[in-house]
């Protein structure tokens, strides 16, 4: 019986070694490991794993192709629904999506779908079959899923003729890049405007190298999109260099997609947050990832003390605390709820624990304490306990009386969440936002302003890579319908 084989886990760097370097933690599967893990899949007729994938990757089909060692066919199958298998295989929360629904998980261990997807993506990048030739044109959601064999799954290799219409995309994160790629495949001339000097959004400035290699993976995935004819212009801040109104009225774009993310960090509003040594996780990670501050030759400074406290319990907090550890600091997580409520991916929490991160759970900072020079010397915290459930259904943390104590440290990193930057909404006429500062958009991405579409974190607030990709894909289709039904001179 196929499912009698134990789940195969990918080999990883030794925790003590990797806690001192920025190289990738997981080595991924070998072809033999991939084929063997693929043989565990039961090829369920009702496909619960597909139903739990936000972009409905044809999981049993690509796994069957991996099992048959038809890796090119598997890459082509995934490409029907997802542009970035090497990225999603590394960062998607599989335990709450595809693997969380895998029937093998009911009585045992689910198929390692994430590592299989990563294997296929990396295989395609290495084999250089993932350029435009490997990306099917005009994805058709109603298309019959391919079965096995490269021939059946082989995508169209010719790019469509230009249709004479131009679309502008604001932001080069997963939402913007997916929208741009789909529009390019539909024949649009697409220009992506990115505020930073490198494209990729959080994939390059937020998620660290040890989880998602920048040159080996992200840059090569983005190259696939450039190969489709998408033009990416960096160092352009929409709302400052040019406005959305100018893109539509003066620059000749028929529509604009806003995928500007949620990069504005929250702070706690407690005394001492202005001391030297307190930073947002976004700033800390941007210095490390985008500016390469962890390299000794980098011009960008980065500060960690002998002890660093990271406040928060999500993926961003785990990335910041593990980066601080790699920079030589003793590093602690301070989180006000218990281990069960930690919102970070299970794999990241597991890796952080293995690397020696200290977890101060049911603990909340009430003040950052400074020395006479204005630098952080400690965080005063209070212990918490869980009370009655709040509106979200989670038990709310309440302070334990007389439980205050200090954690000595020189650096405090706030990883409490982010919201969209208000720049685009405040410089674009007729663009509605909600109470959280997110752009208001329909599920297809239409905003309150005709011709302006939006998706990803800019609409949902901080979410996930795969949800941003799904939003970019739906918006591309809506933009195509909008442009096709309006008379623009081309």
Q: Which residues bind to ligand FAD, rule: CB under 6 A?
A: 91-92, 170-176, 193-196, 201-202, 206-207, 237-239, 259-261, 263, 285, 315-316, 319, 345, 421, 423-424, 456-458, 462-466, 468
In total, the chain counts a number of residues equal to 490
Structure tokens at 166: 């131009």
d(CA 189, CA 312): 42
Answer whether 78's CB lies under 8 Å from 84's CB. Answer: no
Q: Which is nearer to ligand FAD, 152 or 251 (CB)?
A: 251
Q: What is the DSSP letter of 214?
A: I
Q: Choose from ligand FAD, ligand SF4, none: what does 318 bind? Cβ within 5-8 Å by kind.
A: none
d(CA 26, CA 14): 10
Binder among 8, 19, 25, 41 for ligand SF4 (CB under 6 A)? 41
Q: Which is nearer to ligand FAD, 35 or 291 (CB)?
A: 291
Helix axis angle, 113-127 to 59-67, nearest 10°: 60
Closest of 87, 83, 61, 84 to residue 74, by C-alpha: 61
Taking the complex as a whole, how short is the minimal distance between the CB of residue 116 and ligand SF4, in angstroms? 9
Taking the complex as a whole, how short is the minimal distance between the CB of residue 93 and ligand FAD, in angstroms? 6
Q: Cα angle at 299 between 294 and 305, to 5 degrees?
A: 45
Taking the complex as a whole, how short is the minimal distance between the CB of residue 108 and ligand FAD, in angstroms? 25
Burial 228-254 (b: 16+ CB within 10 A, else e): bbbebeeebbbbeebbbbebbeeeebb
Binder among 42, 133, 154, 366 for ligand SF4 (CB under 6 A)? 42
Q: Does 34 bind ligand SF4 (CB under 6 A)?
A: no
Q: Does 135 bind ligand SF4 (CB under 6 A)?
A: no
Taking the complex as a whole, how short is the minimal distance between the CB of residue 315 and ligand FAD, in angstroms? 4
Largest CA distance in the chain: 71
Q: Which is nearer to ligand SF4, 18 or 47 (CB)?
A: 47
Q: Choose from ligand FAD, ligand SF4, none: what does 419 bind? Cβ within 5-8 Å by kind.
A: none
3-class SS at 262? coil
Q: Choose from ligand FAD, ligand SF4, none: what does 103 bind? Cβ within 5-8 Å by kind.
A: ligand SF4
Closest of 314, 316, 262, 282 to residue 438, by C-alpha: 262
Q: Does 44 bind ligand SF4 (CB under 6 A)?
A: yes
Q: Which is nearer to ligand SF4, 60 or 199 (CB)?
A: 60
d(CA 81, CA 45): 19
Taking the complex as a whole, how short is the minimal distance between the CB of residue 242 and ligand FAD, in angstroms? 9
Q: Choose from ligand FAD, ligand SF4, none: what does 49 bind? Cβ within 5-8 Å by kind.
A: ligand SF4
Binder among 113, 218, 255, 469 for ligand SF4 (CB under 6 A)? 113
Structure tokens at 383: 């212990």
Rule CB under 6 A: which residues touch ligand SF4? 41-44, 47-49, 59-60, 102-104, 111, 113
């Amino acid at each position: 019986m196929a499912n009698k084989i134990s789940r195969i886990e990918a080999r990883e760097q030794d925790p003590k070694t990797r806690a001192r370097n920025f190289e990738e933690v997981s080595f991924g599967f070998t072809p033999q490991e991939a084929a063997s893990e693929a043989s565990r899949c039961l090829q369920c007729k009702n496909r619960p794993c597909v139903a739990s994938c936000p972009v409905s990757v044809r999981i049993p089909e690509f796994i069957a192709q991996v099992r048959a060692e038809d890796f090119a066919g598997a890459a082509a199958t995934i490409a029907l629904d997802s542009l970035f298998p090497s990225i999603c295989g590394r960062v998607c929360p599989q335990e709450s999506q595809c693997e969380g629904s895998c029937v093998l998980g009911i009585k045992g261990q689910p198929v390692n779908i994430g590592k299989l997807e990563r294997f296929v993506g990396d295989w395609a990048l290495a084999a250089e079959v993932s350029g435009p030739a490997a990306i099917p044109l005009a994805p058709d959601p109603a298309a019959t899923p391919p079965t096995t064999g490269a021939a059946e799954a082989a995508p169209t290799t010719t790019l469509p003729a230009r249709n004479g219409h131009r679309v502008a995309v604001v932001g080069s994160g997963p939402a913007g890049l997916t929208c741009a790629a789909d529009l390019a495949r539909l024949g649009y001339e697409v220009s992506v405007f990115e505020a930073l000097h490198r494209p990729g959004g959080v994939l390059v400035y937020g998620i660290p190298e040890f989880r998602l290699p920048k040159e080996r993976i992200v840059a090569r995935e983005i190259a696939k999109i450039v190969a489709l004819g998408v033009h990416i212009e960096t160092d352009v801040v929409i709302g400052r260099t040019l406005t959305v109104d100018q893109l539509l009225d003066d620059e000749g774009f028929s529509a604009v997609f806003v995928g500007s993310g949620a990069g504005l960090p929250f702070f706690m509003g407690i005394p001492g947050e202005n001391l030297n040594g307190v930073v947002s996780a976004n700033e800390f990670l941007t210095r490390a990832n985008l500016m390469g501050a962890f390299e000794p030759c980098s011009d960008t400074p980065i500060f960690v003390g002998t002890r660093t406290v990271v406040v928060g319990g999500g993926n961003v907090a785990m990335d910041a605390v593990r980066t601080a550890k790699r920079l030589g600091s003793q590093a602690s997580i301070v989180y006000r709820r218990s281990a069960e409520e930690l919102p970070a991916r299970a794999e990241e929490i597991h890796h952080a624990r293995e690397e020696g991160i200290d977890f101060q759970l049911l603990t909340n900072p009430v003040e950052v304490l400074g020395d006479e020079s204005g630098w952080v010397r400690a965080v005063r915290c209070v212990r918490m306990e869980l009370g009655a459930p709040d509106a979200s259904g989670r038990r709310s943390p309440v302070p334990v009386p007389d439980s205050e104590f200090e954690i000595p440290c020189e650096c405090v990193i706030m990883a409490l969440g982010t919201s969209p930057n208000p720049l685009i909404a405040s410089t674009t006429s007729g663009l509605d936002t909600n109470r959280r500062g997110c752009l208001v958009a329909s599920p297809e991405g239409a905003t309150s302003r005709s011709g302006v579409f939006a998706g990803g974190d800019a609409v949902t607030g901080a979410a996930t890579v795969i949800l941003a990709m799904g939003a970019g894909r739906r918006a591309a289709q809506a933009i195509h319908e909008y442009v096709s039904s309006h008379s623009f001179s081309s």
